[in-house]
Each structure stands twice: as structure tokens, then as C-alpha cells.
Amino acid sequence: LESYLQDVQQFSSPKMHLEQYPTDPHLAASVLFTAESSYGDLQGKHVLDLGAGCGMLTIGCVLMGAEQVTAVELDKDAIRNLEENLAEMEMEEMCGVVQADVTSLPFRDNLQFDTVVMNPPFGTKQNEGIDMVFLEAALSRCRGAVYSFHKSSTRDYIVNRFESDDYKVEVIAEMRFQIPKMYKVHRKKEVFVDVDFIRISAG
């Protein structure tokens, strides 16, 4: 799985305000493998990838047996990268792409997906709280499980806010994201952020 994902092309024109960087292929491979092997959340399922970017998670889901993946992405340039990656992997048949804003999803009211996967923006001063907006959007569209990445510093907040009779929050793994210097503004070569990989399941 990981070797296929290593061939996924990166963003050709990354945009700072959208926090665009590719999900690390090794990481994507491990988390998606876990989602299927431990929970059976991908094989034969209809999956939603929110903020799909260049498609690392979309492609990983198809490789793990997802029957249909719907990818939502805001940025036209990223969609171009996504399309090319899907074409290279010959996965266009299993995927539908919609250009839209995750904060305002254009899905009919009763539409639910089996599984939602995402690597959401963590939020900067300009759009603080965007990570929680993504999580709310994901949960509202999911009949099964949501898989997402969030700063470990937000873990308590997430558990307090979402853990309930209706939802179970699990921290499946802790990791360090190495976010490369992609933009002139970054002074260091790369930044390390402690990140939780979480699973929130309904019912």
C-alpha cells in the first residue's frame, strides 16, 4: 500500500491559506490499513474524503477496497493534481469529485456516507476553529465512522465536545507530523506538530 501511495504526485501549486501539503504516504498507508483491518470501515464502503487535496487518502481508500469514494476539494489546482493521480492509478471509475467548500457541503439532506476520512486544516489565526468545522461536517454526513487528524493539544476539547451517548471517540494513534517548509514565510526547514489520529463512530 505504502509503495503505491509514494507515487502520488504532490501539490503543484500549494496554497498557504488552505494549509496544503500532501499527507505522508507511509502515514496514510498505516492509518487506512488500520481502518480496514481493525474496523472493516473501507472494504465495500461508500467513503467521503473531505478536503481531498492531491488525493492521498482517496487513493488509499480505493486500494483498501472502498467501492466508491466521493472527494470534496475547494481548490481547482489541487483538483487537477487529484485528477492526474487518479488517472495514473486508473481509479477514475471508483471516484467522484465535487468542487465545494467543506464548511458548506452541497449534499442532499438525507445523504449519508458509510465512512468519512480526512486530513483537515488545523487552523491558523485567520480561520481558527476550522478543524472543528470539518469534524462537525464529517459527523453530520456519516452513518459509520469518521477518521481524522487533529492536533494532540485539541484532544481533550474533542472528547468533551463529541463523546456522548451517540458518539464514541477513540484516539487510535499519536504521531508527529513533519510539515515541510513549502512557503517562504516558514523560517525553519520543517515544523513538527503532535497529532492524534482519531476515530469517531456513531451509535
Partner 1 sequence: VVSTQSTGNYFIQTNLRMKLLTHNMLKSHCKGVVNGFPLKITSNQVDVKEIEFNPDFISRMLSRLDWTVFVQSANLLGVGEGLPDMLPEDQDFDDEDVLKKIHHALLEVEVIEGELECPETGRKFPISKGIPDLRLNEDEK
Q: Are 81 and 57 in contact (CB under 8 A)?
A: no
Kindly write out the interface string for residues 96-125 of this chain, putting x where it contacts partner 1 by CB under 8 A and - elsewhere: xxxxxx--xxxxxx-x--------------
3-state class (DSSP) for residue 113: strand
2 counts as binding partner 1 under rule CB under 8 A: no
Tell me the per-residue interface mask from 52 to 71 with partner 1, x by CB under 8 A, - otherwise. ---------------xx-x-
Question: Which of 21-29, 88-96, 168-176, 190-198 is the region at the interface with partner 1 (rule: CB under 8 A)?
Answer: 88-96
What 8-state DSSP symbol labels residue 30? Answer: H
126: contact with partner 1 by CB under 8 A = no
Q: Which residues pair with 46 in a beta bridge?
A: 68
Q: How far apart are CA 16 and CA 149, in angstroms?
A: 19
Q: How many residues are recorded in the chain?
A: 203
Cell of 98: 465535487
What is the binding site for partner 1 (CB under 8 A)?
A: 9, 12, 44, 46, 67-68, 70, 74, 79-81, 83-84, 86-88, 92-93, 95-101, 104-109, 111
